[in-house]
Amino acid sequence: MLIAGNWKMYKTASDAADFCRALKARLAGLDGVDVAVCPPYPALAAAVQVLADSDVAVAAQNVHWESDGAFTGEVSASMLRDLGVYGAIVGHSERRQHFGETDETVARRVAAALEAGLWVIACVGELEQERGAGETEEVLRRQVSVLEAHDQLVIAYEPVWAIGTGKTATPEIAEEAHALIKSIVDVPVLYGGSVKPDNATELLGQPNVDGALVGGASLEVESFAAICEAAATL
């Protein structure tokens, strides 16, 4: 079971250091769950430094497919490795929506990160109108088909209509989507989409749900720790 916190564009380096110190103390002695935080780029080094002597991993929110070059604003896997970063999110719906990420570029980023030794959380999920039109399976098959199974690859199913909206997929919807994804690529699948302490146990208790990619609830130590503790009981 993996619980990863995606901080998006929140927390400065000093904020991250304070958060990580508090989280490390709060989760001391917790067994049965893997935990990761995913700060914005400027806060990665601070998080790595504070969490170096803990079991909490640090991952980036994106990674480029080239090792270096004229790609202004991008960061390579080797740069992340040099910082001590353990992995990266790739293909989050906000990257697809706002920054032109495609299935092809997601596949290239994933392959490069895995080749460099990072573990990857690759995100997939349907829009609200796609679900309403009965296209969920088609969308997931298209997005997942560009990925290949790898022992350092995890997929996150994040129904776009449930991200930052307060809406959450029912456990049954999540289970159905996770089972479909695993039938295409046999890797662990996390659920992402308004995961909170009060719905975590029911969502994480589904047979094909292997953890969570947590957004807003990962920005507060208590709520994020509560989700981690819920996962550890399952």
Catalytic residue ranges: 92, 158
Helix (H) or strand (E) run with residue 229 in it: helix 221-232
Are 171 and 205 in contact by the 8 Å Cβ rule? The answer is: yes
Cβ burial, residue 151 (10 Å; 0-12/13-18/19+) = exposed
d(CA 78, CA 92): 21
Residues 6+ apart with CB under 8 A from 30: 228, 229, 232
Around Cβ 43, how many Cβ atoms within 10 Å? 23
